[in-house]
Copies of this chain bind each other. A is one copy, B any other.
Amino acid sequence: MEEKVSKRDMLLEAGLAIFYEKGFEKATIDEIVLRAECGKGTFYKYFTSKDDLVDALDDKFKAKMKDKLKKNCPYKLSPEVFFTKLIKTLRKIFKENHKIGIIKFSRAHQANKLLEQSDQNWGPIPEIEYITNYVIEKINSGEISKVEPRSLVACLMGSVHHMLFSDFKEKKPFTDKEIKDVVKVILSGVKPIC
């Protein structure tokens, strides 16, 4: 009744914070359990290893991503609205969950020879699948002119990633005007001539 948050959840939360702050390798179980206010044994009751904790965090993230996209960016939206909502939604999710993204990316590279064995570390990426399907559908229906689907996805996802990178690196978050211009650039490029 009193204590609603389970130890497991506290570990998940603490892990996310510490992994993000220190990076996967530099994070120590000691510090994680310290922040989660539990013994080291408890960590290993719920997770088999440090890696296992990251995987658990990633699973949560992917589930949330799929869910948010379905809710905020239904396929029935027009390209203009869809793209705008998409960029905003993705930025919001990535911002709110940027920790796990960064953790995953950087862990993948510590692992080794990522270029060769990346598939072991990364499952399918839900947002890319989601957008690609939308784009294909709209190209088929004629609402978007015939371009390579991956090219359009590249512009969209790439812009989002670049914005996040700028937010992070340059500390000048993209303004609404700038976002609008990104959509404008992309949309004018694929709007079918009527």
Residues of A whose CB lies within 8 Å of any CB of B are 21-26, 79, 98, 102-103, 105-106, 109-115, 118, 122, 125, 142-145, 147-148, 150-155, 157-163, 165-166, 168-169, 171, 174-175, 177-179, 181-182, 184-193
Q: Are A144 and B177 in contact (CB under 8 A)?
A: no
**For A113, what are the chain B residues with a Cβ–Cβ distance below 8 Å?**
21
A and B contact pairs by CB, cutoff 8 A, 15 listed: A23-B109, A23-B111, A79-B190, A105-B106, A114-B168, A145-B191, A147-B185, A151-B179, A151-B185, A152-B181, A154-B162, A155-B186, A158-B158, A158-B159, A187-B191
Q: Are B118 and A181 in contact (CB under 8 A)?
A: no
Q: Are A112 and B21 in contact (CB under 8 A)?
A: yes
Q: Are A162 and B152 in contact (CB under 8 A)?
A: no
**For A26, what are the chain B residues with a Cβ–Cβ distance below 8 Å?**
25, 110-112
Q: Are B125 and A190 in contact (CB under 8 A)?
A: no
Complex Cα spacing A162 to B115, Å: 15
Complex Cα spacing A120 to B158, Å: 25
Q: Are B23 and A184 in contact (CB under 8 A)?
A: no
Complex Cα spacing A118 to B165, Å: 11
Q: Are A102 and B114 in contact (CB under 8 A)?
A: yes
**For A143, what are the chain B residues with a Cβ–Cβ distance below 8 Å?**
192
Complex Cα spacing A70 to B55, Å: 43
Complex Cα spacing A24 to B112, Å: 10
**For A175, what are the chain B residues with a Cβ–Cβ distance below 8 Å?**
148
Partner among B23, B25, B178 whose Cβ is within 8 Å of the Cβ of A148: B178
Complex Cα spacing A143 to B184, Å: 17
